[in-house]
A and B are shown apart, each in its own frame.
Chain A
Amino acid sequence: MQLTDQVRELLQQAFPSGEVEVSSFSGSDHLSARVRSDRFGGLSLIEQHRLVYAPVQHLLDDGSIHALQIKTEAT
């Protein structure tokens, strides 16, 4: 499975009621994720980003993802 698809799937599982967009840029190991979710309500930016990192942490740890650009939006 492509890394982009894998990350999209993991994020969709983590945010089943949210909207998830994942794309790659400047090489396949640089990913950009855009997540809209009601889980972000009332959370600081850092808490929101932590929620996005959590399900893909293992891919960052093992170096599969070099960089993950995150944009969150509370709904």
Chain B
Amino acid sequence: MIVTDDQIREEILETIQRNRIMLFMKGTPDAPRCGFSARSVQCLDAAGAEFAAMDILPDPRIRQQLSAHSGWPTIPQLFINGELVGGCDIISELYESGELSKMVAPAA
């Protein structure tokens, strides 16, 4: 089956809309394929976040379309409520300051 760039972009946008906390990463939360993705998963877990994740590795166009949408050049990328929060450094900083736990707390 041929998947077009447009279909990939739509899938990305849809998954950001559908999941309040959405992490785009290399690998999966159970088997991260990059130290920065692994660190981001650890922070989210430690902050008690229930998050969805998408592996960007299977098709290089996922990353291209994602970065075109977000304007953010690297992976991982965390979105909360449809907004880009940042990559690994920002996730780590927000976790260490305690801010991440507040951001990922279930909406009242």
Contact = CB atoms under 8 A, between A and B. Distances in A.
Interface of A: 26, 45-46, 49-50, 53, 57, 60-61, 67-71
- Among all A-B residue pairs, the 3 with the closest Cβ atoms: A60-B73, A46-B86, A45-B90
Nearest to A45: B90
Given A53-B73, A60-B74, 19 more contacts: A26-B35, A45-B86, A45-B93, A45-B94, A46-B84, A46-B85, A46-B86, A46-B90, A49-B86, A49-B87, A49-B89, A50-B71, A50-B72, A53-B72, A53-B74, A60-B73, A67-B74, A68-B74, A69-B88
Contacts of A49: 86-87, 89-90
B51 interface: no
Interface of B: 35-36, 71-74, 84-90, 93-94
Contacts of B35: 26
A71 B92 CA distance: 11
A70 B91 CA distance: 12
Contacts of A26: 35
A25 B74 CA distance: 17
A69 B73 contact: no
7 contacts: A45-B90, A45-B94, A46-B85, A49-B89, A53-B73, A53-B74, A69-B88
